[in-house]
Each structure stands twice: as C-alpha cells, then as structure tokens.
C-alpha cells in the first residue's frame, strides 16, 4: 500500500499553484498527481516524497485533506498493456473507484495508481496473474 494525500479545494484560480508552491518550498517532491473537479470544488490527489511533512505543511495552509491508501501496479509500457490489466480486473469483478498514472520509471513499465472497492480481491487477482505492485519505498516515498 502507498499513502496518498487528497486535498479538497475550491475551484479558484491559483489554488493548485499555492499548494504546489508550499510543497516545493518545503522540499517535498510530487511523484504523481491527479485532479478531479466539479463546478464548485476539486480533489487534488498526490503521491508525495514525504507524506507526514506534506500533511503538516498543507494543514498549516488551512487545507482540508485526508490520507488514504492506494495500490500502485506496474503495467507493461506497450500498446495494449493497460487494456490487458483492466480486463483482468474487470473479469474479477473488482470496481475501480479511480486511477491515474505515475510517470518516470525506466524499465519499460508504466506505473498506475489504483483505488479499488475491494483491495483484498484486487491484490489476489494481481498475484494470480503475476502482476507486480510497487511499494512506497520503491517510489522513494516516506
């Protein structure tokens, strides 16, 4: 499991810039990022190099946030690689709540961040098919 930071923010100009600047000013690296929004608010989901420090910094900026666990899966970085993984997950009837990519590996694999409805079933399916999960330590996260 990998800890993910979710920040709830208003859809106003400069909000994301302020958050990323606060993290940067405190030497916290963003390893992955996803933004989901509605008309009035958004959720900024991030994997960061130091979750405890990021939580402290952003709480100090009056951000509303939460930390939850996600699973990072190594997906073959080739045409159809993601489609194969998603088919396996679908066949196991595991619902994906959301997913996003993590960029920067150099071993012909792409890493995908998953939040699923049934983590135990998800991990079991991954193991049955020889699919590799990536730990927080492998991503350089504290």
The whole-angstrom separation of Cα 106 and Cα 97 is 27
Topology of the domain covering 70-134: Alpha-Beta Plaits (3.30.70)
Domain covering 2-68 assigned CATH 3.30.2130.10 in the classification: yes
- Nearest Cα neighbor of 32 from 19, 21, 46 is 46
Q: What is the pLDDT of residue 6?
A: 96
For residue 75, report the phi and psi dihedrals to the nearest 5 degrees.
Answer: -115, 135
Q: How confident is the model at residue 103 (pLDDT cuts 50, 70, 90)?
A: low
Given a contact cutoff of 8 angstroms between Cβ atoms, the answer to whether 8 and 43 are in contact is: yes
pLDDT by residue (tens digit) across 5-51?
Answer: 999 988 888 889 999 999 999 999 999 999 988 778 899 999 999 99
Query: What is the pLDDT at residue 105?
Result: 58
Where are the chain's structural domains?
A: 2-68, 70-134
């Amino acid at each position: 499991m990998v800890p993910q930071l979710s920040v709830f923010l208003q859809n106003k100009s400069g909000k994301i810039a302020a958050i990323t600047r606060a993290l940067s000013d405190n030497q916290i690296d963003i390893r992955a990022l996803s933004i989901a929004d509605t008309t009035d608010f958004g959720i900024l989901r991030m994997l960061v190099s130091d979750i405890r420090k990021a939580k402290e910094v952003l709480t100090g900026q009056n951000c509303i946030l939460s930390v939850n666990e996600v699973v990072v899966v190594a997906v073959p970085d080739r045409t159809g690689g993601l489609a194969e993984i998603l088919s396996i997950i679908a066949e196991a009837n595991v619902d994906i709540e959301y997913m996003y990519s993590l960029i920067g590996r150099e071993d012909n694999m792409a890493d995908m961040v998953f939040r699923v409805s049934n983590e135990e079933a998800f991990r079991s399916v991954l193991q049955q098919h020889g699919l590799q999960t990536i730990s927080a330590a492998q991503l350089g996260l504290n």
